[in-house]
Amino acid sequence: MAWLAWLACGGFPLAGCVQSRVVHDGWAEFARGAAAGGADVRLGRDPDAVSDRLAARRAGQRAHRLRLAVFEGPDRMADGHEAALFARSAGGFGGVSLLDADGVAVVYAGRYADSADPAARRALKRARRLQGPANSGMAGRKPFAGARLVPLAGPLRGAAAAAPADPLDLRGHPGLFTLQVGFFDDAAEPDRRTAAERWANRLRRDEKVEAFYYHGPNRSLVTVGLFARSEFVQEGQQEGYPLAARELQKRFPHNLGNGHTLVERSASGEALGEQTSKLVKTP
């Protein structure tokens, strides 16, 4: 071994003394070599075979999910959002979430008993074969070609702990913009949270739009669409709404309160018109 060769040179790298480096394949070989040099090495059991309990905790025998794609850079959330929407719509994957931590955005999907689950293997194969839609930045390629099954960690921390399980929860799409079309407060029936979630689901089912809800401390919001900052258009010295957001505004022109149209009034009580839908930043 290298350190034995160094000692054989008297502890100094003298000219004419050749040092050698031995690469060992395992603990047993290392022990034999070390013992030959006078070292005392005690071997324990293979850590992977300590017990059935530990073996059952190996990655292959824990709950897994699909890691569909990973994005970095300033546009990572916009790219990740596009991939997440594609995974839910064209891909048909459930449990899709977009997590952003330490400058990396990751799209996950599904949950499986372990990596050997037949459903997990089928989902992985399907994900890797998916072709990006023609009218998107994923056109002409397979956005999930690098998909992998990864084990679910233990107690989650940080961004992963805060990530919502429901893809309709707006908290799963940070750093974007969305069109607020209504809100519910404590006067809503049966309660504001249930009312918002039901409406978001109805919008998806009946209107075929990407609808979301967000539960704040006093109100529950309902929104449609997701837009990146890069989609805004320049209008003179100001930024205008993305074209797709304007199309949504034509379909959903009002910001409803508990399902009713609201009339905005001036300080003097003069009616200024019905309250319109508006873009808000996601939490």
Each residue of 53-80: pLDDT tens digit? 344 444 445 688 898 988 888 777 778 8
CA distance 283 to 280: 9
Listed in sequence order, the residues at least 6 apart from 195 whose beta carbon sits closer than 8 Å to its beta carbon are: 184, 188, 189, 220, 258, 259
Q: Could you tell me the two tokens for 45? A: 């059991």
Counting residues of the chain whose pLDDT is more than 70, the rounded percentage is 72
More confident residue, 51 or 91: 91
Which of 28-37, 143-152, 173-182, 194-203 has the least mean pLDDT? 28-37
CA distance 120 to 128: 12
Mean pLDDT for all residues in the chain: 75
Tell me the C-alpha to C-alpha distance, in Å, between residue 26 and each of 23, 46, 242: 9, 10, 60
Nearest to 89 by CA among 244, 210, 203, 177: 210
pLDDT for res 164: 57
Are 5 and 19 a contacting pair, CB within 8 Å?
yes
CA distance 189 to 260: 13
Q: How confident is the model over 26-54, as a mean pLDDT? A: 44
Each residue of 123-175: pLDDT tens digit? 999 999 998 877 777 778 888 998 888 877 544 444 444 455 566 788 878 77
Write out the H or E segment, with its range, that includes residue 249.
helix 243-251
Are 160 and 86 a contacting pair, CB within 8 Å?
no
pLDDT for res 258: 94
CA distance 93 to 97: 10
The CA-based angle 174-184-222, given to 5 degrees, is 35
Q: Which single residue is written with the structure tokens 């596009």?
A: 82
Confidence of residue 179 (pLDDT cuts 50, 70, 90): very high
CA distance 188 to 256: 12
For 35, what's the count of Cα atoms within 13 Å in the CB-facing half-sphere? 9
